[in-house]
């Protein structure tokens, strides 16, 4: 705790000193813009204050605006007080005029200040009025100073109305609305959300309120205000990783408007889910305080997977003080508990799903398989406005992520270690995962009823933890007549990971009973000889310093650039208690004490051209790096392995149509990774840095809240990925990277119908994906064993004497798929709404989450019926 406090103090002092130094050095040339006083109307309009007004109905929003500014607002929208108009949230420092304009953004209403200092709100154009909530126009994180329209990057903000209409309950399902993102199964030692962004793994690139959310768990959406996907160069803002981009979960915070929102869902997949969102302002305490509480209880199954069960409990209280002052403080806590019966799905058979296997087949042990997580996250945020031009933001977090898991992975034959082509030679054939002998099952000539399936046990007990502080300053000023928007910050802390792994293999064979492929024994009692295979303690301490400055070159052009420096210091200790006779020993390269320090800069530069106030064209360049201990794991080999280096170029355009009710954007990009880490094919315990990988492509997206009650979210991405160079896996050069579909498409469209109904239809398309970047194809059939003299064999090492010639190969990949969803809802009263969602309406069978060693099917057809109560 002492270290944490010291880090926080150093961070605050460093940023304040940075601002002071900048101001002092530039004093003769720097001038903060002043607004002249030309009468009471101008005075009232130009006064600057800090605002925190949530989105809501027009009357409540204007009342909150009046309390914050003292400005009286007259509403002239016909015979009503404007109850049907939904305003935007206004958070940050604005003039009174700008805050009112931002609040009315997207409503079809306009505002003006009178000579007496009051404001008048009236209909801008009666034909264009849309009473729905507007589109989000900014990223919540203070790292980004420009609205989305002028941000030089592909940024997708998934707002509340999309999550609500789709009945989304997890981060994973929310991200199906983002082009360029594909989902994958969790790794053997790390359960929870796993994904790729623009072709590169992003399991460690998930953030919460701008701070890395390091835990291995499945994230629930009950406390989300919005989800932000930032694709493209992101290393300068977020530090290590961020090759293809990052995901940020922005949580709900207390506001000045009372709110009670309760939702209940019941489904054909045994879903019983209740969430509550309660916000209570306390205006007479601490210059404006508010308390917010979000609750969630979820019990459900998975349609098409009869033994899967999901049990979640979430509690998220938060309290804010000083909402009407220049200094605002928010303390929040999230507790998320999960107790599931997990499922690693179905087995591979060489290069594809095993033949004859049922989509409902379960190969686990329902009495023994479990995934238990018990996450606690405490966050404190302080925002202080020195004046209308300089603000400081500080956020500190302590997080604890315990997990305990045992999951069964079905296996038939071992994976090929290297993709030998037809005519090539290999030192061994695949072996049976059950018997250890040569695999007796030949593709295309096998009776599925004869296939035995090994039940590999993946068991781990671990605690991950995070102590972090981030402090940054935002400053707006002029130098030589040019407007600058400056963001500078310092962040740092420590992350820990303490996994204990277990094994069930004795003398090379699994002690857990096997089963059959076609009729797996689901009632069999679990049995096996388990033992601790490794105990690991890892701690990483890191610090990052960064700044980005955006210069406005007149009305048409913006130029921004920045630098970040990171230091990542990791210490690792791994050992194994005495294993039973025949038990698998911990690899020598993983036993012992290792350390590694990486320190290097990242860069970013961007140019924006704004031909109109409704559009922009941009170019963006950035770098990032992935250290060897990125996921808090080291070996005697990787402690000497340099970071992967990433370089990204992106060019794009954005345009806002229909009075800012429709945002469309498109981008072309290219990311290249140098020194990509690979597993040594001759020693699976060795990780080497060798080879280059690249992904280039285009993506387009649209988000709209259109007139006549029509909402749309849609996106398309084309990704061309390939291995450019690989000395250890030369036959992989030119092939697709793992879990990178060439094409993805998503859409969800809703429309208002007569009788207070609203209907929606949508779907997702994901093209085929390969399972491995190093072994994209595998040998299928082999010739007889051939004996060679030692030293002359065309396979293996200098001592190899027996080789098998490859007769045929196949791409190890899962096929593409389409899934379609429907929604229907109806307002019963001002406060009550019923909603029904039908997902995978055609009951398509598809592989949703691929892994090199197992395949997890997508959920079958299911329906959810919900009640939404808002007061």
pLDDT tens-digit readout, 382-440: 999 998 899 999 999 999 999 999 999 999 999 877 789 999 999 999 999 999 999 99
In the predicted structure, residue 82 carries a pLDDT above the cut 80: no
Max mean pLDDT range (2-11, 57-66, 495-504): 495-504
In the predicted structure, residue 762 carries a pLDDT above the cut 60: yes
Write the CA distances from 190 to 304, 461, 711, 847, integer angstroms: 24, 10, 37, 20
**Residue 302 near residue 328 (C-beta atoms within 8 A):** no
Write the CA distances from 463 to 288, 376, 399, 400, integer angstroms: 38, 11, 10, 7
In the predicted structure, residue 179 carries a pLDDT above the cut 80: yes
Mean pLDDT of the region 671-685: 79
Which spans in 272-319 are helix H? Answer: none
Per-residue burial over 289-315, b if 16 or more Cβ lie within 10 Å, else e, is bbebbbbbbbebbbbbbebbbbebbbb
What was the pLDDT predicted at 682? 63
In the predicted structure, residue 15 carries a pLDDT above the cut 50: no
What was the pLDDT predicted at 16? 40
Q: Is the dihedral of CA 698, 704, 706, 710 positive or negative?
A: positive
What was the pLDDT predicted at 4? 40
Alpha-carbon 281 to chain mean position: 31
Look up tokens 């506001």; give the residue. Answer: 255
Count CB atoms within 10 A of the CB of residue 725.
14
In the predicted structure, residue 178 carries a pLDDT above the cut 60: yes
What was the pLDDT predicted at 415? 80
**Regarding predicted confidence, which is higher, 102 or 77?**
102
What is the spatial distance between Cα 290 and Cα 284, in angstroms, rounded to a whole number?
A: 10
Count CB atoms within 10 A of the CB of residue 405.
22
CATH architecture entry for 32-128: 3-Layer(bab) Sandwich (3.55)
Q: Which of 20-24, 51-55, 157-161, 585-589 is the least confident region?
A: 20-24
Mean pLDDT of the region 246-251: 95
Count CB atoms within 10 A of the CB of residue 281.
21
- Max Cα-Cα span within the chain: 101
pLDDT tens-digit readout, 427-483: 999 999 999 999 999 998 999 999 999 999 999 999 999 999 999 999 999 999 999
Each domain of the chain, given as residue ranges in start order, spans 32-128, 259-439+450-870
In the predicted structure, residue 596 carries a pLDDT above the cut 90: yes
Share of the chain above pLDDT 90, in %: 68
Write the CA distances from 154 to 143, 150, 197, 652, 677, integer angstroms: 15, 11, 12, 8, 27
What was the pLDDT predicted at 72? 82
Phi, psi of 575 (to 5 degrees): -150, 170
Look up tokens 């989300």; give the residue. Answer: 224
Residue 119: CB partners within 8 Å, gap ≥ 6?
44, 45, 71, 72, 73, 74, 96, 100, 111, 112, 113
Strands 662-674 and 644-657: antiparallel
What is the spatial distance between Cα 858 and Cα 360, in angstroms, rounded to a whole number?
A: 11
pLDDT tens-digit readout, 532-547: 999 999 999 999 999 9
**3-state SS class at 213:** coil
Chain mean pLDDT for the chain:
88
What was the pLDDT predicted at 17? 40
In the predicted structure, residue 778 carries a pLDDT above the cut 70: yes
Q: Which of 87-101, 276-290, 637-651, 718-732 is the least confident region?
A: 87-101
| Beta partners for residue 615, in sequence order | 612, 655
What was the pLDDT predicted at 81? 53
Count of residues in the chain: 871
What was the pLDDT predicted at 8? 42
In the predicted structure, residue 194 carries a pLDDT above the cut 50: yes
Using pLDDT thresholds of 50, 70 and 90, give the confidence band for residue 69: confident
Q: CATH number for 259-439+450-870: choose from 3.40.50.2300, 3.90.1300.10, 2.40.170.20, 1.10.1060.10.
A: 2.40.170.20
Mean pLDDT of the region 586-615: 93
Mean pLDDT of the region 134-143: 77
What was the pLDDT predicted at 27? 37
What was the pLDDT predicted at 779? 94
Q: What is the SS3 assignment for 35-98?
A: CCCCCHHHHHHHCEEEEEECCEEHHHHHHHHHHHHCCCEEEECCCCCCCCCEECCEEEEEEHHH
Could you give the count of Cα atoms lying within 13 Å of 642 in the half-sphere of its Cβ? 8
Could you give the count of Cα atoms lying within 13 Å of 413 in the half-sphere of its Cβ? 25
What is the spatial distance between Cα 821 and Cα 176, in angstroms, rounded to a whole number?
A: 12
Which spans in 619-756 are helix H? Answer: none
Strands 769-770 and 786-787: unpaired
**Residue 235 near residue 604 (C-beta atoms within 8 A):** yes
Mean pLDDT of the region 112-137: 60
Mean pLDDT of the region 74-99: 73
What was the pLDDT predicted at 134? 59
What is the spatial distance between Cα 103 and Cα 100, in angstroms, rounded to a whole number?
A: 5
Using pLDDT thresholds of 50, 70 and 90, give the confidence band for residue 84: low
What is the spatial distance between Cα 344 and Cα 485, in angstroms, rounded to a whole number?
A: 48
In the predicted structure, residue 581 carries a pLDDT above the cut 50: yes
Write the CA distances from 548 to 469, 487, 744, integer angstroms: 19, 5, 32
What was the pLDDT predicted at 619? 97
Q: Give residue 866's region: left, alpha or beta (phi > 0; psi -120 to 50).
A: beta
């Amino acid at each position: 705790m002492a270290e944490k406090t010291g880090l926080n103090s150093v961070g605050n002092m460093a940023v304040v000193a940075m601002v002071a130094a900048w101001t002092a050095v530039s004093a003769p040339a720097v001038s903060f813009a002043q607004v002249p006083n030309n009468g009471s109307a101008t005075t009232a309009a130009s006064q600057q204050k800090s605002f925190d007004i949530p989105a809501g109905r027009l009357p409540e929003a204007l009342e909150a605006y009046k309390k914050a500014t003292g400005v009286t607002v007259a509403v002239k929208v016909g015979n009503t007080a404007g109850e049907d108009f939904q305003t935007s949230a206004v958070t940050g420092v604005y003039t009174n005029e700008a805050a009112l304009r931002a609040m009315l953004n997207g409503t079809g209403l306009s505002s003006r200040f009178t000579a007496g200092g009051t404001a008048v709100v009236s209909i801008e154009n009666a034909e264009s009025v849309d009473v729905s909530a507007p589109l989000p126009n900014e990223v919540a994180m203070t790292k980004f100073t420009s609205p989305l329209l002028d941000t030089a990057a592909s940024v997708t903000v998934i707002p509340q109305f999309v999550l609500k209409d789709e009945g989304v309950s997890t981060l994973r399902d929310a991200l199906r609305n983002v082009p360029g993102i594909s989902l994958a199964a969790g790794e053997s030692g790390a359960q929870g959300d796993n994904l790729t962004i623009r072709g590169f793994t992003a399991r460690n690139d998930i953030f919460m309120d701008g701070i890395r959310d390091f835990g291995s768990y499945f994230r629930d959406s009950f406390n989300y205000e919005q989800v932000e996907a930032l694709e493209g160069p992101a290393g300068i803002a977020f530090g290590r990783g961020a090759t293809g981009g990052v995901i940020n979960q922005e949580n709900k915070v207390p506001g000045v408007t009372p709110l009670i929102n309760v939702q209940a869902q019941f489904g054909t997949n045994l879903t019983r889910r209740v969430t509550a969102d309660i916000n209570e302002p306390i205006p007479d305490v601490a210059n404006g305080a508010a308390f917010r509480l979000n609750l969630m209880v979820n019990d459900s199954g998975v349609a098409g997977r009869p033994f899967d069960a999901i049990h979640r409990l979430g509690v998220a209280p938060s309290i804010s003080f000083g909402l009407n002052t220049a200094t605002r403080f928010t303390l929040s806590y999230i507790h998320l508990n999960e107790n599931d019966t997990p499922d690693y799905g179905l087995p591979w058979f060489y290069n594809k799903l095993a033949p004859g296997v049922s989509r409902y087949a379960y190969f686990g042990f329902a009495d023994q398989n479990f995934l238990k997580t018990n996450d606690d996250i405490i966050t404190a945020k302080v925002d202080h406005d020195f004046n209308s031009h300089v603000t400081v933001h500080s956020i500190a977090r302590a997080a604890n992520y315990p997990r305990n898991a045992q999951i069964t992975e079905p296996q038939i034959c071992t994976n090929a270690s290297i993709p030998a082509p037809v005519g090539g030679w290999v030192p061994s054939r695949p072996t049976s995962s059950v018997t250890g002998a040569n695999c007796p099952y030949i593709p295309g000539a096998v009776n599925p009823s004869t296939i035995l399936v090994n039940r590999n046990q993946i068991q781990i007990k671990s605690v991950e933890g995070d102590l972090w502080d981030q402090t940054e300053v935002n400053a707006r000023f002029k130098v030589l007549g040019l407007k600058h928007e400056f963001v500078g910050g310092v962040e740092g802390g420590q992350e820990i990971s303490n996994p204990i792994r277990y094994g069930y293999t004795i003398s090379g064979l699994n002690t857990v009973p096997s089963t059959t492929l076609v009729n797996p024994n689901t009632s069999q009692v679990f049995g096996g000889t388990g033992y601790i295979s490794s105990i690991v303690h890892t701690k990483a301490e890191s610090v990052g310093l960064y700044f980005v400055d955006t210069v406005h070159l007149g009305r048409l052009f913006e130029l921004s650039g920045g630098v970040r420096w990171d230091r990542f210091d990791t210490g690792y200790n791994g050992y194994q208690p005495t294993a039973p006779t025949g038990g698998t020993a911990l690899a020598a390269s993983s036993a012992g004490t290792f350390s590694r320090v990486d320190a290097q800069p990242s860069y970013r530069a961007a140019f924006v051209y704004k031909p109109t106030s409704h559009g922009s064209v941009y170019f963006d360049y950035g770098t990032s790096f992935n250290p060897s201990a990125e996921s808090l794991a080291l070996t005697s080999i990787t402690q000497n392995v340099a970071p992967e280096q990433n370089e990204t170029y992106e060019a794009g355009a954005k345009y806002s149509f229909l009075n800012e009710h429709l945002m469309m954007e498109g981008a072309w990009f290219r990311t290249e990774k140098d020194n990509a880490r690979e597993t040594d094919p001759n020693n699976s315990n060795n990780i080497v840095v060798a080879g280059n990988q690249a992904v280039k492509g285009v993506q387009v997206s649209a988000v709209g809240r259109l007139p006549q009650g029509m909402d749309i979210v849609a996106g398309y991405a084309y990704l061309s990925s390939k291995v450019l160079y690989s000395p250890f896996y030369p036959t992989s050069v030119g092939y697709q990277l793992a879990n990178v579909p060439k094409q993805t498409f998503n859409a969800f469209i809703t429309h208002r119908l007569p009788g207070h109904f609203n209907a929606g239809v949508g779907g997702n398309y994901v093209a085929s994906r390969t399972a491995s970047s190093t072994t994209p194809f595998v040998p299928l059939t082999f010739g007889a064993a051939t004996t060679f003299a030692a030293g002359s064999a065309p396979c293996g090492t200098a001592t190899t004497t027996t080789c098998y010639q490859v007769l045929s190969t196949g791409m190890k990949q899962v096929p593409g798929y389409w899934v379609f969803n429907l929604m229907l809802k109806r307002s019963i009263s001002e406060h009550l709404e019923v909603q029904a969602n039908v997902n995978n309406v055609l009951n398509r069978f598809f592989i949703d989450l691929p892994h090199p060693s197992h395949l997890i099917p997508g959920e079958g057809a299911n329906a959810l019926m919900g009640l939404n109560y808002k007061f």
